[in-house]
Amino acid sequence: MSTSVGTFQPNTLQWSVQTQVTVDNTAGNTKHFTCTGFRLVHIHANQEFLINFGAAEANCGANDLQLEAGSYTLAVPDAIGNAVIMNILAASSDDVTVRVVLS
């Protein structure tokens, strides 16, 4: 389930600040963010993390993109269906705290 602090209105320049989340490395605890209708995702993570995009909520695993701690801006893929979900999981035994802004 995705939680949002802001809102999105189609055909306007908008952004949505998502609720900060902390997640461990248990696949079943993967956090999901609904990115449908957005073009970019801005991410800040304090630890290494795994990330994937899909048409539905999915667990992250060893075959997903692994990024170091830091700040990133990624394009939201639009060729995966009507819905776009971003899934994030800690890449190591250390919990990762993630801040996400969609635009």
How many angstroms separate the CA atoms of 24 and 38, rounded? 26
pLDDT at 37: 87
pLDDT value at 6 more than 60: no
- Give this prediction's pTM: 0.84
pLDDT at 82: 79
pLDDT at 15: 86
pLDDT bucket at 98, cuts 50 / 70 / 90: very high
Instruction: Give the position of tokens 């801040």.
Output: 99
How many angstroms separate the CA atoms of 53 and 84, rounded? 7
How confident is the prediction for the chain on average, in pLDDT?
88
